[in-house]
């Protein structure tokens, strides 16, 4: 074989090999990028899963069975209704989110698609010992939220069928 043909053949094989490697790399990135979205979709379709987002990024989800390893808590509603028991919302969030990420002013938006309603708290409210914000398991496996906070009316104290919690930390602006 002439040297000129060997050089051309080597160049063609190098180009084919480079294209194959670039193609596999792009395919791998597409797979890893869609994995998070498919997990999020699966969580949304699973009954009783509460999805947790931190500053718009999905960090995971939890169910009542995952909360079973947390210590149970209870409170007596102020109007003399039956005692409510469940798990602390703060403890549940700490299963997925580091305490270092949470500031007193971090906003927690707890959403129920079922009720088409949400409740807004701060991490400071959730973490304060005198406040009771609990998640309670329903018979169908979904989780309800009960909040015993002085500023809430009785009608505002519960959220049925919680399916999403969004944590947002306000950005601190520094003026020179």
CB atoms within 10 A of CB 147: 21
Contacts from 63-70 at CB under 8 Å and sequence distance 24+? 63/141, 63/143, 64/135, 64/137, 64/141, 64/142, 64/143, 66/95, 67/91, 67/92, 67/95, 67/135, 67/137, 67/143, 70/95
- Euclidean distance between CA atoms 92 and 64, whole angstroms: 10
- Euclidean distance between CA atoms 103 and 170, whole angstroms: 9
Per-residue pLDDT of the chain (176 residues; tens, 9 = 90+): 677 788 888 888 888 877 776 665 554 444 444 444 444 444 444 667 999 999 999 999 988 888 888 998 887 766 666 788 899 999 999 999 999 989 999 999 999 998 899 999 999 988 887 778 899 998 888 899 988 877 777 667 888 899 999 999 887 666 65
Question: Within a 13 Å sphere around the CA of 142, how many CA atoms are in the beta-carbon half?
Answer: 17
Q: Report the pLDDT value the prediction gives residue 84, as an integer from 0 to 100.
A: 82
Q: Report the pLDDT value the prediction gives residue 55, as an integer from 0 to 100.
A: 92
Q: Report the pLDDT value the prediction gives residue 27, as an integer from 0 to 100.
A: 45
> Helix, strand, or coil here: 8?
helix
- Euclidean distance between CA atoms 49 and 51, whole angstroms: 6
Residue linked to tokens 């210590």? 71
Q: Report the pLDDT value the prediction gives residue 34, as an integer from 0 to 100.
A: 46
Contacts of 73 (CB under 8 A, 6+ apart): 85, 86, 87, 88, 132, 134
In the sheet that holds 57-62, the strands lie side by side as: 57-62, 50-54, 164-168, 107-112, 117-122
Q: Report the pLDDT value the prediction gives residue 46, as an integer from 0 to 100.
A: 61
Q: Report the pLDDT value the prediction gives residue 38, as an integer from 0 to 100.
A: 46
């Amino acid at each position: 074989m002439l040297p000129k043909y060997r050089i051309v053949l080597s160049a063609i094989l190098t180009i084919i090999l480079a294209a194959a490697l670039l193609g596999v790399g792009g395919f791998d990135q597409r797979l890893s990028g869609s994995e998070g979205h498919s997990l999020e979709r699966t969580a949304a379709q699973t009954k009783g899963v509460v999805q947790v987002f931190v500053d718009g990024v999905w960090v995971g989800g939890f169910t009542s069975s995952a909360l079973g390893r947390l210590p149970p808590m209870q409170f007596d509603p102020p109007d003399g209704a039956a005692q409510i028991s469940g798990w602390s919302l703060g403890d549940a969030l700490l299963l997925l989110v580091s305490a270092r990420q949470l500031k007193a002013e971090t906003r927690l938006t707890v959403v129920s698609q079922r009720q088409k309603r949400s409740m807004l708290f701060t991490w400071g409210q959730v973490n304060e010992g005198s406040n009771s914000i609990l998640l309670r398991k329903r018979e169908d496996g979904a989780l309800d939220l009960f909040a015993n906070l002085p500023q809430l009316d009785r009608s505002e104290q519960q959220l049925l069928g919680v399916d999403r919690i969004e944590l947002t930390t306000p950005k601190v602006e520094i003026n020179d």
